[in-house]
Amino acid sequence: MNPDSSAPTHLHADEIRRRGLFREVACCFWKEEPGMREVYEMMDSDVIYIVPNFISEGYFCQQVLPRELRIDGPVTRRGSKKVHYCDPVGIHPNMTHLLLQRADEVAPGVPRDRTSLVIVGHGTNLNENSRKVIEAQVALIRSGHHGFAEVVDAYMEEQPFVADWHKLTTAPNVVIVPFFIADGLHSFQDIPVLLGMREEAGAALSELGVFHQNPHELQGRLLHYSGAIGTESRMADVILDQVHDFDAKHGIHSECHTPPSAIQATLVRWLNEGRDTIGEIAITTNADGSFSLCHIADRGQDGLEAHHEAGSARILAQYDARGSFRPLHTAPTLQRGWRLDLATPCEVRLALDFFYPAALGMAHAFEAEKLAAVPLRQVLGRQTGMYAFTNTITDEQAHAMIARCCAEKNCLRRILWPLAPDQPLEGAAALKARPNHAPEAIPLLCIEACTHVVSAARKIARENAEAHPAKSAD
């Protein structure tokens, strides 16, 4: 729903990639692409470090991520791959320094002894560890005698509530730091309403351009509102710190074996064979061995806006021609009018992973007959929390939902998954399981239902429960 949510994670990955410390650096998300079940298809490496860009060791890090990433402990073997599951960034000791730095940045020159520091979290009853990390930071800053008049924790959905900030604090200056990973819906829209900065949630503060207009005069005091702590540029160092600490804890020494990229080699072969399109993108191999990418409808057109870095692909893919956010990269809404000039196949691979996350890896594995699809019933059956009842929809409802959600006008992928292990898709839904790409195209494939389909199933399941409450209760 909001591009601000994933932006910091991408920026931290860009910084780590720029330093050249790892063979590959990729992101995956719970609600955006690539999903956690797809990201392994992007990786050539046999050793993979997973660092949760989460604030706490709560519900997601202890239940959702291990389930979706198919890991069973700190070290998991997945065929030839060894997966290392690190601690989330939010619990690293260096987060205290980042909090203090952010507090000083948002209220420059304001004396700490006349300032209350409020660290804000979400709050949840799903896992008690979710608030422990914030309580620990408050305790560390209090005991560290950093000079604040008072340091308190507050939450959106449990006591003490952030809406009561003026009752929880007494100093004439109040600094609010959201202990979140990103400036998404909560920090840009929900919390400002709870603080009294706005009357109702509307466009994100990033879009209105007033986010940094501190201080705000509220309740007779000066309130300084910070961006989420996860947007701090030094978070990239905290991510690397978690990798370093994992190695130290488990006695792991760096491995230097870096065989050639099989995915990149396959891409080069495909281009040499004339397979030079993928989705809405055309790839041209120039006479000097460089490459140019553009919208397939712009091939051969002059006057296209030129870009020269693989990272530009992520920005080009983020919005459609009307400026609307594209949460689904394989929607047929890629904007036109651009050209991306790249020097090497490595850059082309990276750019295509930004345009269509994991698509190259899945096509490579599909060609090698090593791509495993997950039936819809299995995807719905493993859901927990607010999605736990999604698998109660009927087969008829499931097929109609797939036909509606996954239509060509919504998504360009070809579905590889059946409804159940012994039950293929039927009716209009089955049309999406047929090959839908030209012979010269690299296919866009779907190995399991995405978050949009799961959300649609939840909506149907809720409607079923509301229509038949007695049956649902049984």
* pLDDT higher than threshold 50 for residue 17: yes
CATH 3.40.50.300 fits 95-231, yes or no: no
Q: Is residue 416 a contact partner of residue 447, using CB atoms and an 8 Å limit?
A: yes
Cα–Cα distance for residue pair 347/309, rounded to 1 Å = 8
Q: Tell me the DSSP string of 16-71.
A: HHHHT-SS-----BSSSSSBTTTGGGG---SEEEE----SSSSHIIIIIHHHHHT-
* pLDDT higher than threshold 90 for residue 10: yes
pLDDT at 202: 54
Please count the helices (runs of H) and the strands (runs of E) in the chain. 19, 16
pTM score, two decimals? Answer: 0.85
> So where are the chain's domains?
95-231, 372-473
pLDDT mean across residues, the chain = 91
For residue 440, name the pLDDT band (cuts at 50, 70, 90).
Answer: confident
pLDDT at 28: 94
* pLDDT higher than threshold 60 for residue 217: yes
pLDDT at 210: 45
Q: Is 183 left (phi over 0), alpha (psi -120 to 50) or beta?
A: beta
- End-to-end alpha-carbon separation of the chain, Å? 35
For residue 253, name the pLDDT band (cuts at 50, 70, 90).
Answer: confident
Q: Is the Cα torsion angle 315, 318, 321, 322 positive or negative in sign?
A: negative
For residue 78, name the pLDDT band (cuts at 50, 70, 90).
Answer: confident
pLDDT at 212: 59
Q: What is the mean pLDDT of residues 275-292?
A: 97
* pLDDT higher than threshold 70 for residue 364: yes
For residue 333, name the pLDDT band (cuts at 50, 70, 90).
Answer: very high
Contacts of 289 (CB under 8 A, 6+ apart): none
Domain boundaries 372-473, corresponding CATH code? 3.30.70.2320
* pLDDT higher than threshold 80 for residue 111: yes
Instruction: Evaluate whether 95-231 and 372-473 have a shared fold.
Output: no
Beta bridge partners of 84: 49, 75
pLDDT at 188: 76
For residue 129, name the pLDDT band (cuts at 50, 70, 90).
Answer: low
User: One-letter amino acid identity for 268?
Assistant: V
Residue 397: its H or E element:
helix 395-405
pLDDT at 127: 61
For residue 205, name the pLDDT band (cuts at 50, 70, 90).
Answer: very low
Contacts of 18 (CB under 8 A, 6+ apart): none
